[in-house]
């Protein structure tokens, strides 16, 4: 039997694979009968792994990641593999994992759909209402309940990263127990939301939207946010934007930037998008202005609340 799991939702892929392999017998013995490959693997090595008889277990499991979309897999390789798959030993369980969607015209996809020993399933990251349904369902599976507003907040600020969503739900349910998860709980426990409010404020600054930026700043004050904490977040945000902008100009994309700067992929992606609103000289000028404000406040020439209001006015000025 061979399986093709493809699509950008690797979290659901792995969960589905775990449920599937749980049916293959004792985990300890299955582990002894499992072979894993990454990227390109010759058909000879692949068939040898599948043809090997299982040891004290009903099946031999072979997992291959990223083979079918590999640049070395040409039409000749596809045809040879397609000729082999229907004739695998009945004890073999071959799983292809692909982190991107494959074309419906792919010869191996077509084979899996029409042959008795083939199975294909596409995993796509949920978005919009589908993502909110996923969050509600996962919370229920974990024995928790969550309000619609809290679901919406998680969906907006974390997005389709299901592994991260799963971690946040685990944490929220442990915190709330049998009580319903509310937006305030998400804001309290999710580290991404504290940064999200700063992202929104910096977005407004980048768009020169003085009204929105001023409203967001006043909202933070009304929530009781310490002005010194808020200012430190400003400094941190623009320092990171400079680093991300420099990396982006060198050709790096968010995944590489995430590794280079040792930051979460969600934060790297948001910073990358935000950096597009500024030129590097603009970011450096803003950072210098922030340092000047810091000196003025520490030397008593300005109070921080006034300085932050003036800062928003200066940064959103069209001139």
Domains and CATH numbers, the chain: 2-122 (3.40.50.300), 128-189 (1.10.8.60), 192-315 (1.20.272.10)
Under 8 Å between Cβ of 73 and 67: yes
**pLDDT score for 219:** 80
Whether this model's pTM surpasses 0.75: no
**pLDDT score for 213:** 86
**pLDDT score for 194:** 55
Q: Please report the DSSP string for 171-235 in residue order.
A: HHHHHHTTSPB-HHHHHHH-HHHHHHHHHHHHHHHHTT-HHHHHHHHHHHHHTT--HHHHHHHHH
pLDDT tens for each residue of the chain, 319 residues long? 999 999 999 999 999 999 999 999 899 999 999 999 999 999 999 999 999 999 989 999 999 999 999 999 999 999 999 999 999 999 999 999 999 999 999 999 999 999 999 999 999 988 878 889 999 999 999 999 999 888 988 887 777 889 889 999 999 999 998 899 998 888 778 755 655 666 677 778 777 788 888 888 888 777 667 788 778 878 888 888 899 999 999 999 988 998 888 776 767 888 888 888 888 998 898 889 888 888 888 888 888 888 888 888 887 776 5
Q: Please report the DSSP string for the chain in residue order.
A: -EEEEESS-HHHHHHHHHHHHGGGS-HHHHHHTEEEEES---HHHHHHHHHSPPSSSS-EEEEEES-TT-TT--HHHHHHHHHHGGGS-TTEEEEEEESSPPPTT-HHHHHHHHSTTEEEEE-----HHHHHHHHHHHHHHTT--B-HHHHHHHHHHHTT-HHHHHHHHHHHHHHHTTSPB-HHHHHHH-HHHHHHHHHHHHHHHHTT-HHHHHHHHHHHHHTT--HHHHHHHHHHHHHHHHHHHHHHHTT--HHHHHHHTT--HHHHHHHHHHHTTS-HHHHHHHHHHHHHHHHHHHTTSS-HHHHHHHHHHHHT---
Q: How far is Cα 205 from Cα 199, in angstroms, rounded to an integer?
A: 10
| Main-chain phi, psi angles of 60, to 5 degrees | -115, 125
Beta strands across the sheet bearing 2-6: 34-38, 60-65, 92-98, 2-6, 118-122
**pLDDT score for 127:** 80
């Amino acid at each position: 039997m061979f399986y093709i799991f493809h699509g950008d939702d690797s979290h659901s892929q792995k969960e589905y694979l775990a449920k599937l392999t749980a049916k293959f017998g004792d985990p300890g013995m299955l582990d002894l009968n499992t072979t894993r490959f990454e990227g390109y693997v010759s058909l000879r090595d692949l068939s040898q792994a599948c043809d090997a008889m299982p040891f004290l277990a009903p099946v031999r499991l072979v997992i291959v990641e990223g083979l079918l979309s590999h640049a070395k897999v040409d039409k000749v390789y596809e045809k040879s593999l397609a000729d082999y798959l229907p004739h695998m030993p009945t004890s073999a369980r071959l799983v292809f994992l692909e982190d991107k969607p494959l074309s419906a015209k792919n010869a191996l996809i077509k084979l899996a759909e029409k042959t008795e020993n083939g199975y294909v399933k596409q995993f796509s990251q949920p978005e919009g209402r589908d993502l909110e349904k996923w969050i509600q369902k996962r919370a229920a599976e974990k024995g928790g309940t969550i309000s619609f507003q809290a679901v919406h907040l998680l969906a907006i600020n974390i997005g389709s990263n299901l592994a991260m969503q799963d971690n946040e739900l685990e944490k929220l349910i442990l915190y709330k127990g049998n009580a319903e998860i509310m937006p305030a709980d998400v804001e309290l426990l999710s580290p991404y939301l504290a940064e999200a409010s700063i992202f929104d404020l910096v977005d407004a600054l980048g768009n020169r939207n003085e009204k929105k930026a001023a409203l967001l700043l006043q909202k933070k004050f009304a929530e009781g946010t310490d002005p010194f904490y808020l200012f430190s977040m400003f400094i941190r945000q623009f320092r990171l934007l400079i680093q991300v902008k420099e990396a982006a100009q060198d050709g790096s994309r968010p995944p590489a930037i995430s590794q280079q700067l040792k930051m979460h992929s969600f934060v790297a992606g948001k910073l990358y998008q935000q950096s597009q609103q500024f030129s590097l000289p603009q970011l450096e000028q803003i950072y210098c202005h922030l340092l000047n404000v810091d000196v003025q406040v520490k030397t008593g020439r300005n109070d921080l609340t006034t300085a932050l209001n003036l800062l928003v006015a200066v940064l959103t000025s069209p001139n």
